[in-house]
Amino acid sequence: MVEIVFGFDFGIKRIGIAMGNTLTGQAQPLSVVKAIDNATRFAQIGALVAEWKPARLVVGEPRHPDGAEHEMTLRCRRFANQLHGRFNLPVELVDERYSSAVIQAKRGEVIDAKAAAIILQQYFDDHANNY
């Protein structure tokens, strides 16, 4: 069965969102949520979830290069828990230590969505034999 999967690159100012499916195993940038407050953020994410009906969500989990956690690690976990609680979908965390290094550019809307696509692609690549 083909499932749609969303990937998220969480940031304080913006959240990059990507989508893909388990048939092709290919991720592509979808959108960027720019709202500061949680209610608006989750309303925008909820509209995308209602439109595309993903079966699962993947959130990038940032860490220091040595694997140690930092402030954003905890924020991303909290965001992942909120996604699960609001949408009742399985949420998986993916180590994103090397995803942002792939995009050597100034942070911005397109970059955030591309970073989300890299995170989701990493998830697909790691789980390719599971579909």
Element spanning 114, H or E = helix 109-126
Strands (DSSP E) contained in 56-129 are 56-61, 91-95
Element spanning 80, H or E = helix 71-87
Q: What six digits make up the tokens of 85?
A: 């609680």
Q: Stretch 57-69: mean pLDDT, rounded?
A: 90
State the pLDDT at residue 85: 97
- Are 123 and 58 in contact by the 8 Å Cβ rule? The answer is yes
Mean pLDDT of the chain: 88
The DSSP line for 50-66 is: HHH--SEEEEEE---TT
Q: What is the spatial distance between Cα 57 and Cα 47, in angstroms, rounded to a whole number?
A: 14
Question: Is pLDDT above 90 for 102?
Answer: no
Question: Is pLDDT above 60 for 101?
Answer: no
Which sequence spans correspond to the domains of the chain? 1-6+34-56+74-94
- Choose among 9, 6, 54: nearest CA to 32: 9
Q: Stretch 72-92: mean pLDDT, rounded?
A: 96
Q: What is the pLDDT of residues 13-47, one digit of tens each?
A: 899 999 999 999 999 999 999 978 899 999 999 99
State the pLDDT at residue 22: 93
Q: What is the pLDDT of residues 110-126, one digit of tens each?
A: 678 888 999 999 999 98
What percentage of residues in the chain have a pLDDT greater than 90? 64
